[in-house]
């Protein structure tokens, strides 16, 4: 059901493992892996992730914005998602402020939504 995606590691085909050797019997070649589940949505394994970052990491940081001065943890950006169990053994999702120690309830959907945060950006 889920579609196979190509690993984006620039050297994936050069890592000579048995599972990468594909093609007709007399014409097998080492090929980029295809997977339905990829690390970070893009890579077949950590080696390919590291290959990509070694080659493109600096370009990517420059493209998306290099940090030029330190950021500071403040009440406005100290919210972290966490979870705990209540007395009925149900999972309870919360946002906890690392400075004020205030806790606010989260739904499971908010906990899982990587874009949802109480932090000011
Ligand atoms: Zn790969």
pLDDT for 120 equals 86
Q: Distance between CA 5 and CA 101 in Å, rounded? A: 42
Between the CA of 41 and the centroid of ligand 1 the distance, in Å, is 11
Give one DSSP letter per residue of 35-70, joined into a string.
Answer: ESS-BTTTBSSHHHHHHHHHHHHHHHHHHH----S-
**Beta-bridge partner residues of 93:** 83, 106
Query: pLDDT tens-digit profile of 22-76?
Result: 999 999 999 999 999 998 889 999 999 999 999 999 999 999 999 999 999 999 9
Q: CA–CA separation, 17 vs 26, rounded Å?
A: 18
> From the CA of 7, how far away is ligand 1's center (Å)?
5
Give 16 Cα–ligand 1 centroid separation in angstroms. Answer: 11
**Distance (Å) from CA 49 to ligand 1 centroid:** 8
pLDDT tens track for 63-93: 999 999 999 999 999 999 999 999 999 999 9
pTM over 0.75: no
């Amino acid at each position: 059901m889920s579609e196979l995606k190509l690993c984006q590691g620039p050297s994936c085909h050069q890592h000579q493992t048995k599972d990468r050797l594909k093609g007709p019997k007399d014409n097998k070649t080492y090929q980029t892996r295809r997977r339905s589940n990829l690390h970070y949505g893009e890579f077949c394994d950590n080696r390919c992730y590291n290959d990509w970052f070694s080659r493109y990491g600096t370009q990517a940081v420059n493209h998306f914005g290099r940090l030029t001065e330190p950021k500071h943890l403040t009440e406005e950006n100290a919210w972290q998602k966490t979870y705990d169990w209540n007395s009925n053994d149900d999972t309870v999702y919360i946002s906890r402020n690392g400075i004020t120690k205030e806790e606010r309830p989260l739904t499971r959907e908010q906990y899982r939504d990587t874009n949802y945060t109480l932090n000011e950006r």
